[in-house]
Amino acid sequence: MAITIEIDHANTRRMAQGPGRSRSQAPARRSPQTAGGPVVPQGVKGPIRRLKWLILILTLAVYYVTPFVRWNRGPNAPGQAVLLDFAHGKLYLGPAEIWPQDLYLITAAMLLATFILVLVNALAGRLWCGFACPQTVWTDLFLLVERLVEGDRRQRLKNIGAPLTAKRIAQIVTKHALWMAIALGTGGTLIFYFTDAPELVRDVLHGEMSVTALTWTLVFAGTTYGLAGFAREQVCTFMCPWPRLQGAIWDPEAFTVNYRDYRGEVRMSAKKAVEARSQGLPAGDCVDCGACVAVCPIGIDIRQGPSFACINCGLCVDACDGVMAKLDRPRGLIDYESWRNIERGRVGEPRVSLLVRPKTIGLALACVALAAVIAVSFVTKTTAVLSVQHDRDPLAVRLSDGAVRNAYTVKLLNKSSAMQSFRLGISGVDAALAIVGHATADAIEVEPDGSETLRVTLTMPEPVDGDVTFQAVDPNGQVLLTARDRFINR
């Protein structure tokens, strides 16, 4: 069966509304949400809405509290648990300290996050978008402020285009003042992730905040204010790349928000449904109240079928279940259900749950394997790095006694917060090692979070081509680091 997945949240096609009408014959009843006007979602109560409030509180708490969590890394190291230190080119995540040389770990972590998102999509569609995406969380927060100040949907719709009164002006000023306060708190908190949070708070309180910090706070605040206050559903539908990816990864077995049309059609009022059924005519459970559309933060009608714009938030499920409860009809007319089960229901087949299937098993195993690789890499990551670069011009110098000398640039990087001492040695070739500016190769000290660049020469009396391994040895004689290069006889 062919299926078209719509992405236009302003689509106005409607399902059948009465006996004898096909879906194509159903009249279109336009509302501000489906007529190109602003999306003004209705408040709703229910278990999914309560879960969304809980996730909103948890995510905001994590965001605002994390910069103030302390972590003891010893002397000469910052005490902030999560810190992106641009000045020193390092990222601190609790006990982990990530340098630019560890970029592969960040890449692997981003790849893991992608695999997890694809796995979640295979299980329940855009669940991240509907519950934990920052755009969704802050939009919900801004909408809460809007409802508290201006009233629920009906009143806010009346306010659109209405003449300004003193009360209306006060509402607008109050709403935008609260939005700006939230946006400034959001932008300021984001800056805390790039500098020591308590210190920046003290600077702000004493009026000593730097121009750079103030500028970026205003930039991030403006972004929050614009996206959560005005762009809202446009971000989720058009600006975010995730809806476009749905075309490639949409899974008909995923439990996404869907309308059981085989149960809901033909739509009519509760009274007409009783009359139709008494006459043996088809009548569905859907009374076409529009509650599912009214509460949708994107402004779509899920009864039209799967939509790329749907963020799978489930608010329409709560709204529909509330209506069904009042009509004493079973819940689940709109529900988290797979599209295949919708098709099975149309032909009277029993529903099947296929959350565990080869695709989800493979994705889960890939996530576990990648997470294990990242964990092992973190555990085995050293606190120092040795790199060697052979001189290119000239590659080799022949001395008057017939010996050949090669020159190298050796760099020792200390990624710990304590002084480290090394002895430089070689293996693989029979050559004399000398460090320009150092009497011996012993006791080369590298400052905490610092590096030492050495000019090293190898002289071979009886020159031959061969691989040479440079070794950084600790004071106990243990080889900590190695780097391989080539000795060239020319």
Query: Does residue 455 have a pLDDT over 50?
Result: yes
Residue given tokens 């110098």 in the structure block: 397
Region 53-68: mean pLDDT is 96
Task: Return the percentage of the chain with pLDDT > 70, whole number.
Answer: 92
Name the token pair of 198.
Answer: 């308590």
Query: Does residue 21 have a pLDDT over 80?
Result: no
Q: What pLDDT score does 7 carry?
A: 44
Region 21-25: mean pLDDT is 37
Q: What pLDDT score does 31 carry?
A: 45
Tell me phi and psi for residue 247, to 5 degrees.
Answer: -60, -30
Q: Going from the N-terminus, what domains does the chain have, and what CATH number goes with each? A: 384-487 (2.60.40.10)
Q: What pLDDT score does 362 carry?
A: 96
Sorting pLDDT into bands at 50, 70 and 90, what band is 36? low
Chain segment 258-300, per-residue pLDDT in tens:
999 999 999 999 999 999 998 989 999 999 999 999 999 999 9
Q: What pLDDT score does 458 carry?
A: 94
Region 360-375: mean pLDDT is 96
pLDDT averaged over the chain?
Answer: 88
Query: Does residue 486 have a pLDDT over 70?
Result: yes
Whole-model pTM: value is 0.82
Query: Does residue 349 have a pLDDT over 60?
Result: yes
Residues 6+ apart with CB under 8 A from 172: none
Chain segment 223-272, per-residue pLDDT in tens:
999 999 999 999 988 888 888 887 778 899 999 999 999 999 999 999 99
Region 78-98: mean pLDDT is 87
